[in-house]
Structure 1
């Protein structure tokens, strides 16, 4: 007695060994019963025979060939709607067109995934750099050229949430979200810095990665020398650091050449522990 007979049924249709019940077909093709039923509901895979008394579904070689086609096209990530169109209009030119279109779609997805991977790499690089910072030490560093988008704004920087309204304005009319944690900064213009306005933020900017596509005006900042300090804390702790930076520039005979670039490299968006916050202030100098 077979296992099927012991379970009270037969895998094959009685009297016809060429037809197999849905459970046997699921085992043969390593798919679930739910998948086969879903294909039937979508009109992709009709059983060869349905027992009117029991409702058991039976499949034969014709269905095996269809199922093989479905599985192959699903491996290529073709949607079921596209597969259905082909199965209902089998033609070499139809499948060729669909494969070409699917290849183009996969290439677009690969490009998108490569962009996401680069963004993750950049984020990890910045995060690790922030964690390894030398804190409360002023250095003259060479800042690489970068690309930003910015708006004139006077945000309240008592917490990172104070920048949310400005961020939303920067993101307006963009098809993709561009804001990643650690890329939004605030700035104080040269005149305010020279006059001691160390809390007079007048602009909010978004630092763009090379692969970011921004629909609107962007500004290319050239490579430049900056006085830089990194400290444990947030924007609210910045005024005292600005005083140190301005004193240092005067002592070293340096001239301020532009607006400050203040970025919270690690803040509430990444950790709930204020002891881990890291903020960077750079002021371009000559």
Structure 2
């Protein structure tokens, strides 16, 4: 055992590179205890091991070198506690952001695997879907240009970290009136399904009640929906259903996933109920 260590020996002892130690020396963060005046060789004392260990741990916490310098400046229990508390708060915030991203990616992967495995499913399915809150600027779109600006408008007003397009949440509302009148090409209101509705202005929220939805998926542009909507509406008439509200057209597979336009996919969800003897089916 020896007290004086070369730069390579200290680096190996602490599991860091010699170049890192040279960098710390240049920026006056961690300097060798002795420099040979004749050779210029740097030597560290074994008693400096704890300071270097603390620097390594602070860097693992995400502190930059200036923050580490601040930590060692007039170090005492109060200053250290304040700095560590601030770093802990930052780490908790980042952890929440990463958790949200992980959840979105996990959900997207599950959906994409379902799409890949899906074979021979019926054109129209009836599904039970839960209550949803939609965040919208009540902006109607009718072209790809308007779609681009609509997406930007939504993204710029959301405080979420998790991406919209990677989570099957972006879509447009098709009014019940237009559906019943078979105006399938009418301008539609762009929205994103809200995850944290309590933090959003109520004027920008639209509630979609839980219930039965007739669903159909199709491949192509947002505007290529007429044929699928016509198929869905005819099926509803045949099976004795009535439309009970606005429909949702949600982007499922988009340009964030594929460059192949034939793989771009949307799902249309139309709220329905069984037609009773006293109800009439208008327009469909």
Q: TM-score, normalised by structure 2?
A: 0.82
The CA deviation string for residues 31-55 of structure 1, in whole angstroms up to 9 with x for no partner, is 1122112222332212212233332
CA distance, structure 1, for counterparts of residue 81 and residue 156 of structure 2: 40
Shift of 1:137: 1.7
Shift of 1:285: 1.7
* Greater mean alpha carbon deviation, residues 240-249 or residues 224-233: 224-233
CA distance, structure 2, for counterparts of residue 65 and residue 140 of structure 1: 65
Match in the other structure for 1:152: 139
Q: TM-score, normalised by structure 1?
A: 0.81
Shift of 1:86: 2.8
CA distance, structure 1, for counterparts of residue 265 and residue 52 of structure 2: 56
Match in the other structure for 2:282: none
The CA deviation string for residues 219-267 of structure 1, in whole angstroms up to 9 with x for no partner, is 2311021211123434343111111122222233322222221123113
Q: How many correspondences in the alignment?
A: 267
Call closer, same or farther: CA 1:202–1:235 in 2, change over 3 Å: closer
**Paired residue for 1:63, among 48, 57, 60?**
48
Call closer, same or farther: CA 1:173–1:41 in 2, change over 3 Å: farther
DSSP-derived class of the 1:226 partner: strand
2:156 maps to 1:172:
yes
CA distance, structure 1, for counterparts of residue 198 and residue 5 of structure 2: 54
Shift of 1:166: 1.0
CA distance, structure 1, for counterparts of residue 158 and residue 252 of structure 2: 24
**Equivalent residues in 2 for 1:1-286 (5 A)?**
18-133=3-118, 135=121, 137-150=123-136, 151-156=138-143, 163-176=147-160, 178-181=163-166, 182-208=168-194, 210=195, 215-216=200-201, 217-286=204-273
Preserved CA contact (<8 Å) 1:144 1:222: yes
Preserved CA contact (<8 Å) 1:20 1:60: yes
Shift of 1:171: 1.9
Give the greater-gyration-radius structure (CA): 1
Preserved CA contact (<8 Å) 2:30 2:52: yes
Preserved CA contact (<8 Å) 1:136 1:231: no
Shift of 1:62: 4.2
DSSP-derived class of the 2:243 partner: coil
Call closer, same or farther: CA 1:125–1:65 in 2, change over 3 Å: closer
Preserved CA contact (<8 Å) 1:266 1:278: yes
CA distance, structure 2, for counterparts of residue 164 and residue 47 of structure 1: 57
Which ranges in structure 1 are unaligned for 5 or more consecutive residues?
Answer: 1-11
Call closer, same or farther: CA 1:86–1:188 in 2, change over 3 Å: closer
Which ranges in structure 2 are unaligned for 5 or more consecutive residues?
Answer: 274-284
Name the Cα RMSD after superposition: 2.7
* Greater mean alpha carbon deviation, residues 147-156 or residues 125-134: 125-134
